[in-house]
Amino acid sequence: MAGGERPLRIWAVSDGRAGIEAQALGLAEAVARRRPAHIAVKRIGWPAGLGRLPWPLIPPGARTGDPIEAPYPDIWIAAGRATLPLSTRMLAWSGGKTFVVQTQHPHAPLDRFDLVVPPQHDGLTGLNVFPILGAPNRLSAETLAVALARFEPRIAALPHPRVAVIVGGRSKAHRLPPGHARRLAEQIAQAVTASGGGVLVSYTRRTPALAREAMTRVLAGLPGIVWDGTGENPYFAFLAAADAILVTEDSTNLATDAAATGKPVFVLPMAGRSAKFARFHAEFERRGLARPFVGNLTAAGQPPLAETDRAAGELLRRYDGHG
């Protein structure tokens, strides 16, 4: 079913966590760059404890957050485990009229979706599966330019090379103990000082407070900006302004965002290990998109990674032919 003359109606659905929402919204925005569309962000949740049950056992009517009711959208793009009790039923609720897209590995029957867009390193296959390297993101040339313009007065005087340091934190597989964080910061400071440049430091919500404090004590002594978490998040502006980008190894989102800029990307090691993340970073390194940080900031950039746009093209191709 093609969208016709009117703009597509797209819902980007998640539990509202920044990294999860960015996947659904980023893919929706990439579709909207190719075809006129109205995007509605939907954030949903579940009462305490209920959301931890297997998705078939969660009653959809118990949800909290934004309303999910008819008229349903032309395209439903969802990300994250919290959306599965709804995503898996949307085809039935809409009578097959809504094109249902799920990012990440859904761990649910694939026939409940029109399209699944998982990370390549998950190894998921199927007729309606379109794996991509990394995760969908909100990065575009326009996004970066707009963000940089807002923060340019604060960034303009900083010396080059400007090194963006993007720090994640605790996950199922990785940890960032204070001692490890301090050692990373010392290695970064040594490299930045040797280059004569400055830093642009951004932490995520998952960065442990003690790790944040340990790194800030070291990096705040360099020319640059260490975002303290207050006011507007300069994350996109830091990526846009950077000459090189350092990201911790715990997040496909962070690495994918960095690679989407076309800048040199270096991966910071953390405590812990994940076989899936190891495959992901190995593929990034094989393609020349990133390399381990070993104290050297010299590397050539690469063409920006454009997996979100590639997924958007495939989504629209299948949308035009469905139903």
Sorted by where each starts, the structural domains of the chain and their CATH numbers stand as 8-133+307-321 (3.40.50), 141-292 (3.40.50.2000)
| Helix or strand run (H / E) with residue 187 | helix 178-195
Task: Check residue 299 and give its pLDDT.
Answer: 81
Nearest 5°: the CA angle 61, 66, 72 is 80
Q: Which tens digit of pLDDT belongs to each residue from 99-150?
A: 999 999 999 999 999 999 999 999 999 999 999 999 999 999 999 999 999 9
What's the count of helices (H) and strands (E) in the chain, helices before strands? Answer: 9, 14
Question: pLDDT confidence of 3, banded at 50, 70, 90?
Answer: very low
Q: Are 142 and 304 in contact, with CB atoms under 8 Å apart?
A: no
pTM, rounded to two decimals: 0.89
Q: Which tens digit of pLDDT belongs to each residue from 260-279?
A: 999 999 999 999 888 888 89
Question: pLDDT confidence of 5, banded at 50, 70, 90?
Answer: confident
Q: Which tens digit of pLDDT belongs to each residue from 141-178?
A: 999 999 999 999 999 999 999 999 999 988 888 999 99
Task: Check residue 207 and give its pLDDT.
Answer: 94
Question: pLDDT confidence of 41, banded at 50, 70, 90?
Answer: very high
The answer on pLDDT for 321 being more than 80 is: yes
DSSP secondary structure code for residue 32 in this structure: H
The answer on pLDDT for 293 being more than 70 is: yes
Nearest 5°: the CA angle 160, 185, 153 is 35
Q: What is the C-alpha end-to-end distance of the chain, expressed in Å? A: 6
What distance in Å separates the CA atoms of residue 149 and residue 154, rounded to the nearest whole number? Answer: 10
Q: Which tens digit of pLDDT belongs to each residue from 223-251?
A: 999 998 888 889 999 999 999 999 999 98
Q: Are 23 and 41 in contact, with CB atoms under 8 Å apart?
A: no
Q: Are 29 and 41 in contact, with CB atoms under 8 Å apart?
A: no
